[in-house]
Every structure is written in C-alpha cells, then in structure tokens.
Amino acid sequence: MNTTSIEQINFQSFIDWDNSPFILFSAQGKILYLNNSAEILFGYVSKKELYDLALAYAPQSFGHKTTTLALNYDSFSFYAITVGYENEDQISIRFYNTPRTKSVTPLERDKLVTTNINLLLEANITLFKTKNSNPLQLLTDPDIPSFKIDQNSFSKLLRKTLDAFRASDSINITLKLLVGEHVIIGGKKKPIVQLAVKANGRYSDADEEIRTLATQSHITPLLKERSIRLEIPLIRD
Amino acid sequence: MEQFFTNSEQVQNIIKGFNLTKTLFVSSIIIGKPHTGKKSLARYLFPEAPIVSGEDQEAVEELLKEADELIITDFEKLRNQESLNLDNKRVIATANYMGNQQTIDNLFAFIYMLPPLKERPDDTAFIRDIFIAEARSNLMLDTLDFSVEEIPVNLSDNSKTLKRSIYQYLVNLSMDARDIEEAVYHYILKNLDGNNGYKEYLGLYEKPLIRAGLEKFGSQLQLSQVLGINRNTLRKKINEHHID
C-alpha cells in the first residue's frame, strides 16, 4: 500500500472549494490568493474593507486568531473570522458562514396556486399608485414561468414591501430568476426568483411583519437600509 | 350588466388592480364614504359573485363555506371579523370605514380607498346627469327648461345628497302658483303657533318677492314702482328681512 506523506498533498484545491471565503493578502494589501467563495464575496464588498478587517483582527504576534462577531455583506452572513500570519509578508483571513436557520413551517400545499408572479406584482404596483405618486421603475422578466404561490399572503407581503417605499423617490423594482442559485425546500432543490425594490431610502416600520410573512411562505427577506429583496422559491410541483 | 363610469385616475387604477387580480384567489376591500359607489363598483367588476351584507353574520359565514367568490358589503358591520378565514377565496368586501386597521390589514391582500365624489368632479358631473334624466322622467318634467350648471350640488353625503339636491331643485323649479300655495299651506299647518303668527310668516311671501324682484329689476327705485309700494317701505322691508 502506498503511503503519502502529508507534505506531498496539495491542499490548495480543498481551500479553493471551501464554502467559506478565504483570502491571502500581501503586506501591501494586494490579493495574493482567494478561493471561489471569496471571489463571490468580492462582488459585494471592497478589497480595502476586508484588508482593513484583517488588520484590525490580526493577532498581536505570529499565529492565528479567531474572533466571533456578526458580519453582514448583502446576503452573506458570517459569525466569526480567523486572521493569521506566519511571516511579515502575508496575512490570511477566513470567514465562517452563519448557518441558515431551517424553516420549520411545512409547505401548505393546498394554499399554493400556480400563479403568474408578474400579475400579482403589477396589481400591487397599481394599488401602490392609487395612494402614492412616486416615480417608479419596473424591470421584470416576463419569461419567468408561473409557479405555485399562496396568492393572498404573497400579495400582503408585496403590499407591505412596497409600502415601505411610500415616501421614497426613484423606486426601482426588478424581478429576475437568480441563475445558478437554489434553495432547498422539503428536501428538493428549487430555483430562486428575486424581487428587489431599491430607492434612496425607506421606512422600516413594517420590517418585522415583512419578515414574518416572508418566512411563512418560505421566502428569504433581505432588509437593508435602502432596499428590500425577497428571494422566492420557484415551486412548480 | 351593472355600469360603472369613472374618469378619476385613482378609481381607474382601482379597476385596473381588480382586473389584474380577477382570476386570482385574493381578498380585496374597497373602503370609502357612504354613497361613493363601492357596491356598484364591486358588482360591475364581479357580476356573477353572490352578495351578502356584513349585517348578517350567519349568512356571511355560510357563504364563505360554500362559495369561492363573493362580495361582502357593509364589512364594518361584521362583528366576527377576526375569526374569518378569507384565504384561497376571491372575496371582495366594501366598507364605509376602516374600523380596526390591524384586522383589515391581516385579512385583506388589497386595500383600496375609493375617494369621495368631491374629489372626482368628472364622475360627479356624470352621475348628476344620470340623476337629472331620472328625475325628469320620474317627476314627468320632460319639457322643463333649465341650466344644469345652476343646480346647487350638495356632495356632503356623496351621491345621496347629490340626488336629493337635484330632485329638490327640479321640484322647486316646476311648481306653479297652486303648488306653492299647497306647500305653504302644509308648512303653516305644521308650524303655526304663538301670538305673532301673521308677522312671522309674512316673510314666506315677502322675502322671495323682494329677492327675486331685486334680481330681476336691479334697483330698489324700479322695484318699488313695479311692486306699487313706497321706496321707504321697500327699504324698511329689505332691512327687516336682512336682504343684501
């Protein structure tokens, strides 16, 4: 039997495909290495910000230090980071993904009706327009297939989401299929449809209700200072 | 089929919203002052849906069990709102006022506010013309000549007071001397009392006489000649009755 000494193993691919972002910086803050997951993270946060973070949480002398903290970048959420350096030239940072809480509410299939989501969105925008005159831009993908929605509670969720922008200027609404992203419901992978509403600011008085309504329908709400995004599972069976 | 006319952008948006969700199982409510056309609008949009009033709680519960699509009027009168389950049904409710906002918010996906007639001048003109045609026919006044713009329109209770003000105006306009005598007779029969009756009720005759005379002849001098009374007497009467 062949034995392989530990030095001969190439560890890089294990890090490459690690689900947790890992970055290696030079002393000047240049990226020397980053894994796939970190590459996606850089779509939402600047190099400088993460480098500064690494410096701020670096151990006092050579070695590795893990700090527990709450970090949020867009839909990324981390509960801890490990910063380490073994020489003066390189510093590494690794992020630990916060586990996604599993929804305990079962899917109420009898309430789900195959629906064209664009219709519900259009109706809710019309309702919004009866009360507000804010300029509103809609970018939607008419090719999103009809899928199963609890029409009543989803409409409520849409109403509350739009209402949060009742005093905002230049409201931007986009509806699209998130390519390559999935959510697991009832043990099955489902594609995700994303509804994003953005503006120069918004009310947050109904955030709690939005969270509750969304969670009931297995929708992931991402509530930011100036935007609300709903990640809706595309359930067809 | 029920007709519904509107030129108001807000109401047109409500109709658009309903048309978009017509085939969906969502619950909607139209809230607005009495007599603004909520029920007509619901019937116009859903001509096939059975209608039940919120006054009859049992009937509402019964219909909710049986039907997938229904109209509930006077929703504010329903006492067991919290316990209703409107999921997976096409419910269209109408209410004169919101009541408990939290409850309405939880029950309904779409909450529409129907503006009062005061905010819908085009709609008011349209409804006014319908009422005028109806009043002409009901009161048999087909040949009566008048200008529509002169009708003092009262919108304090929306279409109800609008209708009343039109009928009232047309009746007044079409009265002949006998009708007026009859009206005064009934009024006095009902109200005459006290010990100064003659003077008190003289105004019923003198006030409209002087007001109309001034309007028609312009000056007090001319009117006194037409009436055949002294100018000073006329002035005294004008002061007495506070006519400007």
Q: Final residue of a domain: which of A97, A125, A142?
A: A97
**Cβ–Cβ below 8 Å for B24 and A127:** no
Are A57 and A124 within one domain? no
Q: Which amino acid is at A61?
A: S
Q: How far apart are CA B111 and CA B124, in angstroms?
A: 23
Q: Nearest residue of A to residue B18 by CA position?
A: A123
Residue with tokens 């009742």: A166
**Cβ–Cβ below 8 Å for B24 and A150:** no
Domain assignment present for A103: no
| Tens digit of each residue's pLDDT (9 = 90 or more) over A165-177 | 999 988 999 999 9
Q: How far apart are CA A215 and CA A60, in angstroms?
A: 43
- How many interface pairs between A and B have CB atoms less than 8 angstroms apart? 63
Element (H, E) at B12: helix B9-21
| Tens digit of each residue's pLDDT (9 = 90 or more) over A110-157 | 778 899 999 999 999 999 988 888 899 999 988 899 999 989 889 999
Q: How far apart are CA A208 and CA A225, in angstroms?
A: 14
DSSP string over A113-136:
EEE-HHHHHHHHHHHHHHH----E
Are A60 and A116 within one domain? no
In this prediction, residues A223-234 reach a mean pLDDT of 92
Question: Which residues does B57 contact at the CB level (< 8 Å), separation at least 6?
Answer: B78, B79, B80
- Write out the E strands in chain A: 22-26, 31-34, 63-73, 76-85, 90-97, 113-115, 136-140, 147-149, 171-185, 188-198, 220-223, 227-233
Q: Final residue of a domain: which of A74, A97, A120?
A: A97
Facing A130 at nearest CB: one of B25, B88, B112: B112
Report the number of secondary-structure helices (H) and strands (E) in chain B: 10, 5
Question: Which residues does A149 contact at the CB level (< 8 Å), separation at least 6?
Answer: A112, A113, A114, A115, A117, A120, A217, A232
Domain assignment present for A218: yes
Are A23 and A114 within one domain? no
Are A51 and A119 within one domain? no
Are A147 and A218 within one domain? yes
**Cβ–Cβ below 8 Å for B17 and A130:** yes
pLDDT in tens, chain B (244 residues): 567 888 888 899 899 999 988 888 899 999 999 999 999 999 999 999 999 999 999 999 999 988 889 999 999 999 888 888 888 889 999 999 988 888 998 899 999 999 999 999 888 988 899 899 999 999 888 888 888 888 888 898 899 999 999 999 999 999 999 999 999 999 999 999 989 999 889 999 999 999 999 999 989 999 999 999 999 999 999 999 888 7
Selection from A131, A196, A200 nearest residue A170 by Cα: A200
Dig out the tokens for A103 from the structure.
């929804």
Are A119 and A203 within one domain? yes
Are A120 and A212 within one domain? yes
pLDDT at A199 over 90: yes
Domain assignment present for A13: yes
A127 touches chain B (CB under 8 A): yes
Min distance B171 CA to chain A CA atoms (Å): 39
Question: Which residues does A86 contact at the CB level (< 8 Å), separation at least 6?
Answer: A62, A63
Best residue of B12, B20, B29, B119 to probe chain A, by most A CBs closer than 10 Å = B20
Dig out the tokens for B174 from the structure.
């079409």
Q: Nearest residue of A to residue B85 by CA position?
A: A152
Q: Tell me, what's the pLDDT at A110?
A: 76
Confidence of residue A72 (pLDDT cuts 50, 70, 90): confident
| Tens digit of each residue's pLDDT (9 = 90 or more) over A44-61 | 899 999 999 999 999 999
In this prediction, residues A183-208 reach a mean pLDDT of 89
Are A87 and A115 within one domain? no
Confidence of residue A1 (pLDDT cuts 50, 70, 90): low
Q: Which amino acid is at A74?
A: D
Q: How far apart are CA A116 and CA A120, in angstroms?
A: 7
Selection from B104, B28, B22, B34 nearest residue A127 by Cα: B28
**B177 vs A5, higher pLDDT:** B177
The range of the structural domain enclosing residue A80 comes to 6-97
- Write out the E strands in B40-86: 51-53, 69-73
Number of domains in chain A: 2
Are A40 and A113 within one domain? no
**Cβ–Cβ below 8 Å for A111 and B88:** yes
CATH number, domain of A165, equals: 3.30.565.10
**Can you list the alpha helix ranges (DSSP code H) found in chain A?**
12-16, 36-41, 47-56, 117-131, 151-163, 207-216
Are A46 and A115 within one domain? no
Min distance A189 CA to chain B CA atoms (Å): 26
A130 touches chain B (CB under 8 A): yes
Are A127 and A194 within one domain? yes
All residues of chain A having their beta carbon less than 8 Å from the beta carbon of residue B113 are 130-131
